[in-house]
Chains A and B, each alone.
Chain A
Amino acid sequence: GESVGLHLPTLSVQEGDNSIINCAYSNSASDYFIWYKQESGKGPQFIIDIRSNMDKRQGQRVTVLLNKTVKHLSLQIAATQPGDSAVYFCAESSNDYKLSFGAGTTVTVRA
């Protein structure tokens, strides 16, 4: 079936560098995309979202890019900090408010 997936399961980044986390989705009907951060033993924390009528959205230190042509979503974190170490999930939805989560990328920030 169609699903949301991530290109890389792990990402190691030097503190202060920028991070890019990628996500591929296959459901062409998806119109709402969200990035979540999950720390160990905790629930997912909303980071940023984007709708299919946009291709870029910026938040505080984070930017989400959406390329509907190739069904690709990315999360950019500027000046990565140790507190950014976590598992990052992309999720997609198509009209029914149900979210389908990707496999997750573990981000480790090196001091």
Chain B
Amino acid sequence: GAVVSQHPSWVICKSGTSVKIECRSLDFQATTMFWYRQFPKQSLMLMATSNEGSKATYEQGVEKDKFLINHASLTLSTLTVTSAHPEDSSFYICSAAGQGDTQYFGPGTRLTVL
């Protein structure tokens, strides 16, 4: 149980394009989903918290207009990196929490912006 998937697992795009990453909870309903970014050999940094049907809450320093988050259902959240640039290249990881506060993480999406 408590499986979270992400799609795609990796993506390469040109600078200036937008990329959408999906996060799904496969066997439970996720009241809250979280998006993290992880640079090589670093820890996970929380970008934003999203609750189904409401606007995401962004951490300080994260541009909400650049990282668009939609949490349309209890099993799906999407992160869109708009006008991506090379410095946005990173490992993006989502997590989902059900009724409790344990977060279950997806496998991550490797984004490379050329």
- Residues of the B chain whose Cβ atoms lie less than 8 Å from the Cβ of A101: 43-45
Closest to A32 in B: B101
The interface residues of chain B lying within 8 Å CB-to-CB of A100 are 46
Confirm or deny: B25 has a beta carbon within 8 angstroms of a beta carbon on chain A. Answer: no
Residue of A45, A97, A104 with most partner-chain B CB within 10 A = A97
From A44, A89, A98, B46 is in contact (CB under 8 Å) with: A98
Number of CB contacts from chain A to chain B under 8 A: 51
Q: Tell me whether A89 and B104 are in contact in the complex, defined as CB-CB below 8 angstroms, given that A97-B32, A97-B97 are known contacts.
A: no
Of residues 35 through 77 on chain B, the ones whose CB sits less than 8 Å from some CB of chain A are 42-46, 49
B10: min CB distance to chain A, Å: 9
Complex Cα spacing A36 to B93, Å = 14
Taking CB atoms, residues of chain A closer than 8 Å to B42 are 103
The interface of chain B, by Cβ under 8 A from chain A, is 2, 4, 6, 32, 34, 42-46, 49, 93, 95, 97, 101-108, 110
Asked if A43 lies at the interface with its beta carbon under 8 angstroms from chain B, I say yes
A34 to B34, CA, bound (A): 16
User: Which residues between 18 and 46 of chain A lie within 8 Å of chain B, taking CB atoms?
Assistant: 32, 34, 36, 41-46
| Residues of the B chain whose Cβ atoms lie less than 8 Å from the Cβ of A36 | 105
Could you tell me which A residues sit within 8 Å of B by CB distance? 32, 34, 36, 41-46, 49, 89, 93, 97-104
Q: Is the CB of B43 within 8 A of A42?
A: no
Do A43 and B93 have beta carbons less than 8 Å apart? yes
Closest 8 CB pairs of A and B: A43-B105, A101-B43, A43-B108, A44-B105, A43-B107, A101-B44, A97-B101, A43-B93
Residue from A41, A42, A46, A89 within 8 A of B44 (CB atoms)? A89
Expressed in whole angstroms, the Cα–Cα distance for A98 and B48 within the complex equals 9
| A89 neighbours in B (Cβ, 8 Å) | 43-44
Contact of A41 among B32, B103, B110 (CB under 8 A): B110
Whole-angstrom distance from the CB of A82 to the nearest CB of chain B? 21
Closest Cβ neighbor of B43 among chain A residues:
A101
